[in-house]
Amino acid sequence: MGLHQPMAALSSVSDASLVARCRAGDDDAWEELVRRFSRYVLAIAQQAYRLSPADAEDVFQDVFIRTYERLGDLRNDDALRPWLAQLTRRLCIDRIRAGSREAADADAIELEGTDDTLEQLNEALAVQEALAAMPDACREILDRFFRRDESYAVIGAALGLPSGTIASRISRCLAKLRSQLDGREPASGTS
């Protein structure tokens, strides 16, 4: 397998494989790593630590520069996401501390609800990853209903399906998504 695997193929590799490719100097893998976790890092900075867009952008840059420099320190390649989360948290706290007149310890800077927000972000990322692994038909119907807020009639017209069958199809796809999240394969098909 060559180093320059297409980005579309890289999007489906595991975090651990991605880390290994980055360590081997694969530029495309680095690009995929940033793409995969950029929204996550920005969300931690803006939602969990309520940084301004400018400060969040600075943290974003710092996180990926340090990741580039210190990826070798990562002991478990499967733990890339929590490692990035911890690095982002620390840099957010540094940014807040730098902006305040009095030095504050990290515990004091941890905002109320930060852990809950991080947990929600982790769940959202897990759902996003599970969705990416779903069959196209399921991914599209879930996206149309839950993200685009389309009605059953609009979905049915777009997909050439009777509107009366859309609710049951969504339920089956959600069951499959749940199975993906639980780490086991569903017992039956999706549509």
Partner 1 sequence: MTRSREISCNSSRALYASCMEELLTRVASDQRTPAAGSAAAAVAALAAALVTKAARRSRDVWPEAGGSIAQAAALDARLREVAEGLEQSYQEAIGSLQAGDADAIAQALPQAAQDPLELARVAADIGLLAVEAAHRCDQAHHADVTVAAMLAEAAARSAAHLVDVNLLSRTEDARSSEARMLVARAAEAAATLASED
Q: Does 90 bind partner 1 (CB under 8 A)?
A: no
DSSP state of 46: I
Contacts by 45-53, CB closer than 8 A, 24 or more apart? 45/88, 45/92, 47/117, 47/121, 48/89, 48/92, 48/111, 48/114, 48/117, 48/118, 48/121, 49/89, 49/92, 49/93, 49/95, 49/96, 49/111, 49/114, 50/111, 51/92, 51/95, 51/96
CB of 178: closest distance to partner 1 in angstroms? Answer: 7
Residue 151 touching partner 1 (CB under 8 A): yes
Both tokens of 156, joined, read 């049915």
Cβ 33 to partner 1 shortest distance, Å: 31
Query: How many residues bind partner 1, per CB under 8 A?
Result: 18
The footprint of partner 1 on residues 160-179 (CB under 8 A) is 163-164, 166-168, 170-175, 178
Q: Nearer Cβ to partner 1, position 59 or 177?
A: 177
Residue 49 or 152 having the CB closest to partner 1:
152
Q: Which two tokens stand for residue 34?
A: 């940033």
Q: Tokens 């310890």 belong to which residue?
A: 105
Q: Could you tell me the smallest distance in angstroms from the CB atom of residue 149 to partner 1? A: 6
Minimum CB distance to partner 1, residue 155 (Å): 10
Please pick, from the candidates 104, 124, 153, 158, the single residue that binds partner 1 as defined by CB under 8 A. 153
Query: Residue 51 Cβ, how far from partner 1 at the closest point, in Å?
Result: 27
HEC string of 111-163?
CCCHHHHHHHHHHHHHHHHHHHCCCHHHHHHHHHHHHCCCCHHHHHHHHCCCH
Please tell me whether residue 145 binds partner 1 under the rule CB under 8 A: yes
Which parts of this chain interact with partner 1 (CB under 8 A)?
145-146, 149, 151-153, 163-164, 166-168, 170-175, 178
